[in-house]
Amino acid sequence: MARFTVLALFFAVAAGADTLRLRDGTTVNGSFLGGTADDVRFLVNDQVQHFARGNVAEIIFNSMTAPPASRDAPPPARDAPPVDTGPDYAGAPFLRGSSGYIPLEREIGTMARSGGFYGMGGTVYRVQGSRSPVRVRQGDRIVLVVRLNAGGDPRQFQLYRLDSRMGYRQTQPAMGGMPPALPVTINRISDSVYEIIPVRALYPGEYAVSPANSNESYCFGVDY
C-alpha cells in the first residue's frame, strides 16, 4: 500500500508539470500560475519565478492539468515582420529575386524614326544590344521594386515591350508623344518603397522600364 501511494504521488506530480520554453532555447518545468502582458509566473520547486513576457516563446500545458480560461497565458509574442526598406540605390527599379534585389541593365535610349516612306514612320526609342543580359522565365512572378527619394512619384515609371533587331532593341512606334506602355499595378510596401507589377503575364521577349521625361532605360528579358 505504501509503495502504491508513493507511485501515485510521483505520477500525480509528473502529470501536473507544465513546460515553459524561452526564446534562448531554455526550458523550465513547473506549474503555470498566471501572466500579464509583461510577466509570466511559474511555480518551480515550490518557488514562484517571474519571466519577462518578451523572453517567453511558448507555454506547453499538460493536457490533464491545463489551466482554466481565466488563467490562460497571453498568446506568445510574435516578432514584428521586417520592414522592406527596398533596394540600396534610390531612383532605379530592381527585380525582386528569391535572395534579394537584382539590378537591371541600364541603357540610355535614343530617339529615332521607324520605317515608312522616306524614313518618316513613327517615333521609337532605341537601346544598344539585341538582348538584355538580365533574364527571367515566363513562369516567374515578375515584381519590380523601386525606392524613391522624398516626393518621388512611382507612376513616373513606365513598362515597355521592346522589339529586338539586329544590334539594338526599340519601342513600338508612336505617331506622336510617348510609345504605348504596358499596364502595371503599383503597391506601396513601406515608406518610399513601391512594387511595380505587370497587370498581365509578360510574353517572352525584351522589356524596359523607363522614367517619364528621361532617356534612362532599365532593361530585362523574359525567356520561355
HSE-up of residue 201 (Cα within 13 Å, Cβ side) = 9
**Residue 205 or residue 214, greater confidence:** 205
111 and 192 fall within a common domain: yes
Assess contact for 58 and 21: CB atoms under 8 A: yes
118 and 32 fall within a common domain: no
Res 101: pLDDT:
94
Domain hosting residue 17, numbered range: 2-71
- Least confident piece of the model among 13-27, 174-188, 202-216: 13-27
Q: What is the CATH number of the domain that holds 192?
A: 2.60.40
> What's at 220, amino acid-wise?
F
51 and 124 fall within a common domain: no
What span, in angstroms and rounded, lies between the C-alpha atoms of 90 and 104? 13
Q: pLDDT tens digits, residue range 57-87?
A: 888 776 454 444 444 555 555 665 666 778 9
Asked if residue 36 has pLDDT above 90, the reply is no
Residue with the three cell numbers 541600364: 106
Asked if residue 115 has pLDDT above 70, the reply is no
Res 73: pLDDT:
53
Q: What is the CATH number of the domain that holds 36?
A: 2.30.30.100
